[in-house]
Amino acid sequence: VIAVVPPPITSSRVTCPKPKLSDTKLFTIA
């Protein structure tokens, strides 16, 4: 999951070292 590039919606949260599980779910839906 770390290797996967986060969607533009979570790009603002990219500053966080560890993405939240909710963000990963949004990426999976997309």
Give the model's pLDDT for residue 30: 46
Give the model's pLDDT for residue 3: 57
Q: Which of 20, 24, 21, 22 is nearest to 4 (CA)?
A: 24
Residue with tokens 């986060």: 6
| Domain map (residue ranges) of the chain | 1-30
What percentage of the chain reaches a pLDDT higher than 70? Answer: 0
Does residue 29 surpass a pLDDT of 60? no
Give the model's pLDDT for residue 2: 56
pTM of the model: 0.17
Task: Note the residue count of the chain.
Answer: 30
**pLDDT tens sequence across 10-22:** 555 555 555 565 5
